[in-house]
Amino acid sequence: MKYSRVFLAVALAVTIASLIGAAQQTVPFRNGIPVAPTGLAGKPLPAQPMVFDTGEGQKIRVTVLTNALESPWSIAFLPDGTMLVTERAGRLRVIRNGKLEPQPVPGAPMAYVAGESGLPGAVHGYMDIALHPRFSETRYVYLTYNKPLPENKQALALARGKFDGKTLSEVRDLFTMPGSGTSRIAFGRDGTLFMTITGTTGNDAQDPSKLAGKVLRFRDDGTIPPDNPYVGKPNARPEVYSIGHRSALGLALHPVSGQMWLNENGPNGGDEINILKPGGNYGWPLVSYGRQYQGPWQNEIPGHIGFEPPLVYWVPSIAVSGMTFYTGDRLSKWKGDVFVGALRTGEIPGTGHVERILFNEKMEELRRESLLVEYRQRIRDIRQGPDGFLYVLTDEKTGAVLRIEPAS
């Protein structure tokens, strides 16, 4: 009798396991990554402004300023409110008085671009853009881009040029490294320039002698500040400021503390916002709150013990992108909040949005709100304009600039 029960229990367990296995769908993979479904993607933006309620009781109006851009990547505002917008295809565009000028800015460097934005293997031509802190005096514009080299090779580059309102001139590369990648840049309060470098594969992100998976720090002319944490250390690159990063797609200076904030994509889960510390190690690929694309957890023991912990993290991923602190008065109930773009949620295209994060006075997270979900767009960047409104870039083949303002 005892053996019959054991037999029945084993048989039942095998049957349940087989049923569970049979119930799971088999999804196609490409290059080790599940092929994403497309049922929600590709929705056109509405032609007319739309009004939305928000969690804080603040009605907003969202207007499409232009939808004639190709996969725009970043915005920089000139002192007079003119926008400089990068397109991943390798063009620098101007939006003046709310209108997109028909021709790209002449004098900008040639870029290398490959694949489709959002798909594995995509290489972005132009990426981030930033103005010199004393732009009115220097006229300097900084740009990260993937540069074509002979023999079908590429380099990730940081360039600087002078913009006179019409043309970019005196363009030169301040920094290059072999290979292609993604990069954000932002100026610190002391006038130094921070630059992120992708580090998605292998253990290079943990090696300070290699540049992948790092945040670098330069003077405004591309030279290395003597107080960088790895200056003078053996087997380390002096440009390196922090290590252990994956794919950083947002970088912003905190307007009060002066700390540099960075957000980065995890694999399948584990997107993070981090506060950068000189010499800090943020753990990739040894720790993460995410899973590998095939399903297993990135690391067996969750958490960031022994490494700098994230301030905010996402499970599932939202493919976090551009980031800004709102400091204006026009959207007063959002003052002090952090805004990030999301390219897609939970590995499903067509689920991009803007996310708002409210913190207390100790910069501890209190709540989050998803905005513009209805548009189903890939959100690449979000910035505050000098007029106190928020401006959003959609990373689509027919890309747009959206303006968020009070509804009344």
How much of the chain exceeds pLDDT 90, in percent?
Answer: 82
pLDDT of residue 5: 53
Q: What would the pLDDT profile of 163-205 be if each residue is shown by its tens digit? A: 999 999 999 999 999 999 999 999 999 999 999 999 877 899 9
Of 18-27, 149-158, 322-331, 378-387, the one with minimum mean pLDDT is 18-27
The residue ranges of every structural domain in the chain are 48-406
pLDDT of residue 2: 47
**DSSP β-ladder status, 399-406 and 60-69:** antiparallel
Q: What would the pLDDT profile of 329-364 be if each residue is shown by its tens digit? A: 999 999 999 999 999 999 999 999 999 999 999 999
pLDDT-based confidence at residue 30 (cuts at 50, 70, 90): confident
Q: How many angstroms separate the CA atoms of 240 and 224, rounded?
A: 9
Q: 18 pLDDT exceeds 70? A: no
Mean pLDDT of the chain: 93
Q: How many angstroms separate the CA atoms of 10 and 162, rounded?
A: 75
How much of the chain exceeds pLDDT 70, in percent?
Answer: 95
* CATH architecture of residue range(s) 48-406: 6 Propeller (2.120)
Higher-confidence residue: 95 or 31? 95
Q: What would the pLDDT profile of 104-126 be if each residue is shown by its tens digit? A: 999 999 999 999 998 888 999 99
What is the average pLDDT across 288-316? 89
pLDDT of residue 22: 60
pLDDT-based confidence at residue 393 (cuts at 50, 70, 90): very high
Please write down the HEC assignment for all residues of the chain. CHHHHHHHHHHHHHHHHHHHHHHCCCCCEECCEECCCCCCCCCCCCCCCEEECCCCCCCEEEEEEEEEECCEEEEEECCCCCEEEEECCCEEEEEECCEECCCCCCCCCCCCCECCCCCCCCECCEEEEEECCCHHHHCEEEEEEEEEECCCEEEEEEEEEEECCCCEEEEEEEEEEECCCCCCEEECCCCCEEEECCCCCCCHHHCCCCCCCCEEEECCCCCCCCCCCCCCCCCCCCCEEEECCCEEEEEEECCCCCCEEEEEECCECCEEEEECCCCCECCCCCCCCCECCCCCECCCCCCCCCCCCCCEEECCCCCEEEEEECCCCCCHHHCCCEEEEECCECCECCCCEEEEEEECCCCCEEEEEEECHHHCCCEEEEEECCCCCEEEEECCCCEEEEEEEECC
pLDDT of residue 10: 47
User: Which residues neighbour 219 within 8 Å (Cβ) at sequence distance 6 or greater?
Assistant: 191, 192, 193, 225
**Radius of gyration, alpha carbons of the chain:** 23
Other CB atoms within 10 Å distance of the CB of residue 70? 16
| Positive/negative CA dihedral, 36, 38, 42, 45 | negative
What is the average pLDDT across 380-396? 98
Q: What would the pLDDT profile of 192-250 be if each residue is shown by its tens digit? A: 999 999 987 789 999 999 999 999 999 999 999 999 999 999 999 999 999 999 999 99
Q: 14 pLDDT exceeds 70? A: no
Q: Give the residue among 233, 231, 245, 145 at the shortest CA–CA distance from 203.
A: 245
pLDDT-based confidence at residue 6 (cuts at 50, 70, 90): very low
For 249, half-sphere exposure in the C-beta direction (CA atoms, 13 angstrom radius) is 24
Of 145-149, 267-271, 330-334, the one with minimum mean pLDDT is 267-271
Q: 7 pLDDT exceeds 60? A: no
pLDDT of residue 207: 97
